[in-house]
Amino acid sequence: MRQLVMLGLAGTLAAADATPTFNHDIAPILYQNCATCHRPGEVAPFSLLTYQDAAKRAKQIATVTHLRFMPPWKAEPGYGSFQNERRLTDAQIALIADWAANGAQEGDPAEKPTPPVFTEGWQAGQPDKVFTLAQKYSLPGDGPDQYRCFVIPMNLDHDVYVKSFEFRPGNRRIVHHAIVFSDPNGAARKLAGNGNSYSCFGGPGFGPVNMVAGWAPGGSPSVAPKGMEVVVTKGTDLVLQIHYHPSGKAEDDQSSLGMIFGDAPTVGRGMVFINSRAIHIPAGDDHYAVKTGVTIPQDVEALAITPHAHYLCKDMKIDAHLPDGSVTHLIWIKDWDFNWQGQYCFAQPVKLPKGTRVELEYTYDNSSANVRNPSHPPVAVHWGEQTTDEMAVAFLSVKLASIADQETFRRQIGLEFINEFLAQADDLNDFPPEISPQARARLRMAISLFDRNHDGKLDDEERKTLMDFLRARAQ
Amino acid sequence: MGRRSLVFTGLFCAAAAWATVGVKEVPHFSLADTGGAMHTDREWKGSTVLLFFLTTDCPISNGYVPEMNRIAKEYAARGVRTYGVMTDTSVPLGDLRKHVKDFAYTFPVLIDPTQILVRYTNADTNPESVLIAPHAGIVYMGRIDNKVENFGEQRQQATVHELRDALDAALTGRHVAKAFVQPIGCSIIRVN
């Protein structure tokens, strides 16, 4: 009874406030958070720039913002602070609901904010090189999503330094997201055979995976700050992976990738690859956890983080445990959705001193209650690159103290990767693709030398001795 | 007392969703389809009728067009008459025609400027299916299948096909087990 009285009181108070209007309350929210995509010619299915556009969808906007389906932003507030956050506050969501429930009124024209002005065409400026798909790619109107890798032959006779990668979707109705990988070994050309593209899912279908850029609806092109250009070495191809989502009718796409070149980088960069292949999810298990991590071998500053898993993953938490005992939350995604993956750039670089342990914990739901489960009924799921497999990956892009540290860092982080592999692997001969064939031979020898009790395995003590030996050599 | 009135409110809401299912006289109408042909309630007499409520710019509705076409074709052989109903009255005729041509609907799509069929069925979502059986009235309303479970929660393939189940039941004189299943999609905008 008391609750009812209080509800009544709250209603009276709300009524005392002015009813929200498009011009006064809603347009500023839409222009700030939605209009990048929801404007004519852009990726969203309809525009939200005018009162008429928004008013007729008021109920819809209230529903999808309440669910936080829109705007798409997966990172939980309070766990990492990121650039270009597209997340409405609870107050903004309540305001939209209030507006929709009270007739979606237009309000005083004098209060209407000026609609935002957007750059037409290439957002980062005219590219130095534009790669456009050689042929239109045809997608049927119906059926499963497709992941297609297009080989971009760079045919370089010298290294180039890319300041900006900008993806322009050709057909916005079907292009869902895109990732650019680099391929120094011609692996993608082989996979494409006589054509220039091949089917791929998650990664590019070869290892080691080196992701250089990505695009998702609403994202702005990645422009490297001065000194942090991406090096594309002579002989390297790029691979453009496009995720296509059928629209209901047969469609064609001919997307483009623009590149702006700059000067040789002067800032040391490194990539920390956190990965577990020890994934064995029983059919029906609705809460399977995978934990792994890596120890940072030098003082670094984290610039961006890209978590990755497939359809069963629900929850992703990545924390940095600093040597002083403090914990820095890097990211938490409570409702992972493969369709909205992307790179999260930290608002400010995150200092990770040498010895910091970056811990990843992902949880998976392999029950039939998980709508996104690709297997019906559920089956046991293991590590792998197919849609029906799972992964537990995070890429952490870091800045080093100096460019002179790059080579050492690359070797050191490679060793940390090996350490995690040795600690977790079910089979020490089952090397991940990130470990090169040459390294495998040496590693195999080292494992046999340090396997003191000759049981074919490395216990924690043996592994530590081996790693101390390898780390000393990598300094 | 307060508690009881809350309970009643809950009951009333549930009843409202169900109220449209059941015998309710089909209103007299005369509506053009996007190709210009006229359709009236007389052509429904004695037939099982399937309506799909649609709009041009709803991705979930558009994504279902191939399945709507398959259902229309398969059940036409069993005497079912299928129609689309355009619910957004603000879309110009030229855009409606282009949309229907692009998506290659295989059934007539009705233009309903006064939303007479929206009011008759109380459909509130695009896409929403409504199945009307002779003498029994509306026997099923709601989603086509469970491929789209919620916004952002989509199965790669549907595992439950509520509309097909309802059609099969209605055509063989059986009781439709689930008469209403909440559709997911874009809200229908009611005209005043």
Please tell me the distance from the alpha carbon of residue A440 to that of residue A462, in angstroms, as a whole number: 18
Query: Of A330, A355, A474, A359, nearest to A405 (Cα)?
Result: A474
Could you tell me the residue ranges of all domains in chain A?
16-111, 129-261, 267-400, 402-475
A310 to chain B nearest CA, in Å? 13
Q: Between chains, do B103 and A57 touch, taking CB under 8 Å as contact? A: no
Residue A214, token pair as written in the block: 């990505």
CATH no., domain B22-187: 3.40.30.10
- Domain edges within chain B: 22-187
Q: Which residue of B has its CA nearest to A248?
A: B63
Amino acid letter, residue B151? F
Same fold, A129-261 and A267-400: yes
* Residue A457: predicted pLDDT: 82
* HEC sequence for A365-401: CCCCCCCCCCCCCCCCEEECCCCCCECEEEEEEEEEC
Hey, are the CB atoms on A248 and B187 less than 8 Å from each other? no
CB atoms within 10 A of CB B137: 15
Q: How far is A323 from chain B (nearest CA, A)?
A: 39
pLDDT attached to residue B20: 54
User: Using CA atoms, how far apart are residues A358 and A271, in angstroms rounded to an integer?
Assistant: 13
Quickly tell me which residue has 């750059």 as its tokens.
A119
CA distances A259 to A122, A168, A229, Å, are 10, 11, 11
- Cβ atoms of residues A398 and A294 within 8 Å: no
Subunit contact B104:A249, Cβ cutoff 8 A: yes
CA separation for the pair B93, B99 (Å, rounded): 10
Nearest residue to A49 via CA among A41, A58, A40? A40
Interface test with A, best of B6, B156, B182, B190 (most A CBs within 10 A): B156
Hey, which CATH number is domain A129-261, 2.60.120.310, 3.30.565.10, 3.40.50.720, 3.40.350.10?
Answer: 2.60.120.310
pLDDT, residue A458, reads: 86
pLDDT at residue A7, as a whole number: 42
Which of B63, B152, B156 faces A69 most closely, judged by CB atoms? B152
- What is the value of ipTM here, to two decimals? 0.84
Angle between helices A2-16 and B2-19 (to 10 degrees): 70
Picking from A302, A270, A303, A224, the residue whose alpha carbon sits closest to that of residue A402 is A270
B189–A59 C-beta distance less than 8 A: yes
Amino acid at A449: L
Query: DSSP assignment of A136-151, as one string?
Result: PEEE-SSSS-EEEEEE
How many CB pairs (< 8 A) connect A and B?
68
Which run of H or of E encompasses A290?
strand A288-295
**Long-range CB contact pairs, B95-103, < 8 A, 24+:** B95/B56, B96/B34, B96/B56, B97/B34, B97/B35, B99/B56, B100/B34, B100/B35, B102/A249, B103/A141, B103/A248, B103/A249, B103/B62, B103/B65
Q: Taking CB atoms and an 8 Å limit, are A45 and B59 in contact across chains? A: yes
Residue type present at position B69 = N
10-residue mean pLDDT profile of chain A (475 residues): values are 40 60 97 92 90 94 95 93 92 97 95 90 93 94 93 93 94 92 93 93 84 84 87 94 95 96 94 92 98 95 94 97 98 93 92 97 97 95 91 94 93 89 82 80 86 85 89 77
Q: How far apart are CA B39 and CA B33, in angstroms?
A: 7
Contacts of A174 in chain B (CB under 8 A): none
- 3-class DSSP state of A29: helix
Write out chain B residues lying below 8 Å of A57, CB-based. 186-187, 189
Cis (ω within 30 of 0) for the bond into A208?
yes
The phi and psi torsions of A78 (rounded to 5 degrees) equal 90, -10
Q: Taking CB atoms and an 8 Å limit, are B1 and A1 in contact across chains?
A: yes
**Which residues of A lie closer than 8 Å to B, measured between beta carbons?**
1, 3-4, 45-46, 52, 56-57, 59-60, 63-64, 67, 69, 141-142, 144-145, 246-249, 337, 339-340, 371-372, 374, 376, 387
Residues in chain B predicted with pLDDT less than 70, given as ranges, are: 1-22, 192
pLDDT value at residue A474: 72
d(CA A305, CA A272): 9
Contact between B2 and A52 using a beta-carbon 8 Å cutoff: no
The CA distance from A389 to B99, in Å, is 38
CA-based angle A372:A375:A381, to the nearest 5?
100
A267-400 under CATH 2.60.120.230, yes or no: yes
Helix (H) or strand (E) holding A440: helix A437-450
A374 min Cα distance to partner chain B (Å): 6
Q: Do B152 and A45 touch (CB under 8 A)?
A: no
Contacts of A145 in chain B (CB under 8 A): 156
Three-state secondary structure readout of chain B: CHHHHHHHHHHHHHHHHHHCCECCCCCCCEEEECCCCEEEHHHHCCCEEEEEEECCCCHHHHHCHHHHHHHHHHHHCCCEEEEEEECCCCCCHHHHHHHHHHCCCCCCEEECCCCHHHHHHCCCEECEEEEEECCCEEEEEECCCCCEEECCEECCCCCCCHHHHHHHHHHCCCCCCCCEECCCCEECCCCC
Residues in chain B whose Cβ is within 8 Å of chain A:
1-3, 6, 57-59, 62-67, 88, 90, 102-104, 149-157, 159, 186-187, 189
